[in-house]
Structure 1
Amino acid sequence: MTDISEPIEDSPPRPLGRRLLPILLPVLALAAGFGVTYTGLLSPLSLLAPAAPAPQAAPVAVFLDVPRIILTIPGERTQTLALAVVVEIDPAAADTARLLMPRIADSFNGFLSQVDPVAFSRRGILEIIREELATRTRFILGEAAVRDLLITEFRIQ
């Protein structure tokens, strides 16, 4: 048995660093947080604020309206052709297309006035006119600028 009178061995004293560690760690964390906030690298308020909206992507295509074309079709009875067209353009070529719009409209008028009046009553004329107008637009603006041509109104009265 052990005697109560025997002295208990004291553990060796802990070094100063070990004793201050629980105090130094929070102080160092606070100092690092203050430094990061003070230099502007991180703002606690920005974490609470809603996220900024994502930047909008550039438009994939630009749609330009060609001025509406109204022509009188010669023939036995007087008929009127009303045509509205929208051209799908590459965004990089949109400014050039706006500048050349009178030339495009003139090209469309020239073609439509030369179409035989009997052809307007035939099947498939709309597809033929669409392809011809798209070809003329590509000739004026360039092959890469024009993506498509859409006929939004085709009316014969």
Structure 2
Amino acid sequence: MTEPAPASPESSPRKKGKLIPLLLTAMAALGGFGAAYTGLWSAMDLLSPAEARPHDEKPVAEFVAVPVIDLTLQGARSRNLVLAAMIETTQDKAKDIEHTMPRVSDAFNGFLSGIDPAAFDKRGVLEIVRAELLTRSRAILGDEVVHDLLITEFRLK
């Protein structure tokens, strides 16, 4: 019978045990370099004091009220739709929205009066109306001016 071959000195457990920490260290160094190179973090930011670091300040949100819309819906039964909304913007753009508010109210009234009264009885109509009014306000005022549209009152009476 043949005898088993002796284990080669290269694959001894001692040499493998020394290789694992070296590989982990090299991988950590490459990961840190990659993160710094792509801009995820900077070593200089870690060394500078916290007061000297620039802070990304977001502009304060400003809400501009849209005049309350009260529409009489056509149909077999007479109902009124009451809608109140607010446009979210920044403080420096609020005056522009207030100046253009008659155009926004006209677009909102035109859209709401064109909706079939039976659609108001279906689920999810509020989300659809909100999305359409937001689209119309962004078309009139601009994407950079209007951040969001909030419906504060939606009532059928």
Aligned partner of 1:67 in structure 2 is 67
1:27-66 to 2 correspondences below 5 Å: 60-66=60-66
| Amino acid corresponding to residue 69 of structure 1 in structure 2 | I
| Amino acid corresponding to residue 154 of structure 1 in structure 2 | F
1:89-100 to 2 correspondences below 5 Å: 89-100=89-100
TM-score, length-scaled by structure 2: 0.62
Q: What's the offset of the Cα at 1:91?
A: 2.1
Q: Which runs of 4+ in 1 moved over 6 A?
A: none
Deviation per CA, 1:11-47, whole angstroms, max 9, x where unpaired? xxxxxxxxxxxxxxxxxxxxxxxxxxxxxxxxxxxxx
| Amino acid corresponding to residue 96 of structure 2 in structure 1 | T
TM-score, length-scaled by structure 1: 0.62
Deviation per CA, 1:74-104, whole angstroms, max 9, x where unpaired? 0111000000001101222111111000000
| Amino acid corresponding to residue 110 of structure 1 in structure 2 | G
Q: RMSD across aligned C-alpha pairs, in angstroms?
A: 1.4
Q: What's the offset of the Cα at 1:58?
A: 8.7
Aligned partner of 2:155 in structure 1 is 155
For structure 2, the 5+ residue unaligned runs are 1-56
Aligned partner of 1:120 in structure 2 is 120
Aligned partner of 1:86 in structure 2 is 86
SS of residue in 2 equivalent to 1:93: helix
- Report sequence identity in percent: 52
Q: What's the offset of the Cα at 1:71?
A: 0.2
Higher helix fraction (1 or 2): 2
| Amino acid corresponding to residue 142 of structure 1 in structure 2 | G
| Amino acid corresponding to residue 151 of structure 1 in structure 2 | I
Q: Is the radius of gyration larger for structure 1 or structure 2? A: 1
Q: What's the offset of the Cα at 1:140?
A: 0.7
SS of residue in 1 equivalent to 2:120: helix
Cα distance in 2 for residues equivalent to 1:118 and 1:111: 15
Aligned partner of 1:29 in structure 2 is none
Aligned partner of 2:3 in structure 1 is none
Cα distance in 2 for residues equivalent to 1:79 and 1:103: 25
| Amino acid corresponding to residue 105 of structure 2 in structure 1 | A
- Is structure 2 residue 129 aligned with structure 1 residue 129? yes
Q: 8 Å contact 2:59–2:90 — kept in the other structure?
A: no
For structure 1, the 5+ residue unaligned runs are 1-56
